[in-house]
Amino acid sequence: MNQEERRQEIKRLLQSRHQLSTRELARHFGISFDTARRDIIHLTRTGQAVRVHGGVMELAKDDVPAYLARQHILSPVKLELAKVAAHFVHAGQCDFIGPSTSLEQLCRQIQGRDLHVVTNSIDNALALLAHPLPRATLLGGTLEKRNRYTYSAAALTQVSQLRFNTAFIGCVRVDPDGVYLSEEEDANLIRMAVARARTVVLLAEKYKFSSQLTAPYLVAPLEQIDVVITDEPMDPQTRQGFKKTVQILSIAK
């Protein structure tokens, strides 16, 4: 059993037992205590489980970590994803950048570039405030405080009347039929941005391709995604769902 298979098995064990100690995992898999601890750190930092004293606890299917908590999850990975995404940002463009901790990092990467960024993310807007460029439009409406984005019928109309060079989006889960989010209002706006973009770039860590978190709102079928930026190489079966021309980029060394 390789490392990835073992971590998936840990998640299956948590579904039936709900909580496991580090020593239990070491005994169960015949691995060292340090290896078991590293598996726990990986699962908790990537939002797939909850770390508790001496072990790990199941993450409930409907327990999507709040935005401020996600800001502290494996930030080096998010930064590397953002650096790759920044290669798709060009001067003179009008781009949409959605709410996501990785996409907040992208906004920091493109400070000083001469383009127009449209967003409904409070944190993206704050990141873009640090420099006169790029020009930024924060869509108005009701503030969703937990995940720090805005939404309104007026914002949806505004997005429908724009043509984006590129839409950069995140997600909660990627299924064989498409990209999903957990909040209906957010999904409605991101779906419109995707429809109004010439190129769609998805930032999604590998665990999101097998996530069991509740995310019922389809944002885009996989055929609409032009570029996927992820942290591990994508297996052929997962890649099959995307169109043949999709560009898959991994930050794995």
* CA-based R_g, the chain, Å: 19
Residue 63 falls inside a structural domain: no
Same domain (yes/no): 20, 52 = yes
Model pLDDT for residues 64-99, shown as the tens digit of each residue = 555 445 555 546 788 999 999 999 999 999 999 999
Residue 22 falls inside a structural domain: yes
Same domain (yes/no): 34, 129 = no
SS (H, E, C) the chain: CCHHHHHHHHHHHHHHHCEEEHHHHHHHHCCCHHHHHHHHHHHHHCCCEEEECCEEEECCCCCCCCHHHHCCCCHHHHHHHHHHHHHHCCCCCEEEECCCHHHHHHHHHCCCCCCEEEECEHHHHHHHCCCCCCEEEECCCEEECCCCEEECHHHHHHHHCCCEEEEEECCCEEECCEEEECCHHHHHHHHHHHHCEEEEEEECCHHHHCCCCCCCEEEECHHHCCEEEECCCCCHHHHCCCCCCCEEEECCC
State the total domains in the chain. Answer: 2
Q: Which domain range does residue 164 map to? A: 69-250
Same domain (yes/no): 116, 51 = no
Exposed, middle or buried by CB within 10 Å (0-12, 13-18, 19+), for 154? Answer: exposed
Spatial separation of the C-alpha atoms in residues 85 and 168, rounded to whole Å: 8
Same domain (yes/no): 12, 118 = no
Task: Report pLDDT for 108.
Answer: 95
Spatial separation of the C-alpha atoms in residues 20 and 22, rounded to whole Å: 7
Q: Identify whether 76 is preceded by a cis peptide bond (ω within 30 of 0).
A: no
Side-chain half-sphere of 194: how many Cα atoms within 13 Å? 25
Residue 151 falls inside a structural domain: yes
Task: Report pLDDT for 48.
Answer: 78
Spatial separation of the C-alpha atoms in residues 10 and 94, rounded to whole Å: 43
DSSP lists the bridge partners of residue 249 as 229
Spatial separation of the C-alpha atoms in residues 18 and 134, rounded to whole Å: 46
Point out the domain boundary residue: 58, 83, 104: 58
Same domain (yes/no): 47, 74 = no
Residue 64 falls inside a structural domain: no
**Mean per-residue pLDDT for 13-28?**
91
Match 């601890």 to its residue by tokens.
37
Point out the domain boundary residue: 14, 30, 58: 58
Same domain (yes/no): 31, 148 = no
Dihedral sign from CA coordinates of 215, 216, 217, 223: positive
CATH code, domain with 21 = 1.10.10.10
Same domain (yes/no): 35, 86 = no
CATH code, domain with 161 = 3.40.50.1360
Model pLDDT for residues 160-213, shown as the tens digit of each residue = 999 999 999 999 999 999 999 999 999 999 999 999 999 999 999 988 998 878
Task: Report pLDDT for 253.
Answer: 63
Average pLDDT of the chain is: 91
Residue 48 falls inside a structural domain: yes
More confident call, 76 vs 124: 124
Instruction: Grade residue 54 by pLDDT with cuts at 50, 70 and 90.
Output: confident
Spatial separation of the C-alpha atoms in residues 149 and 108, rounded to whole Å: 17
Task: Report pLDDT for 98.
Answer: 98
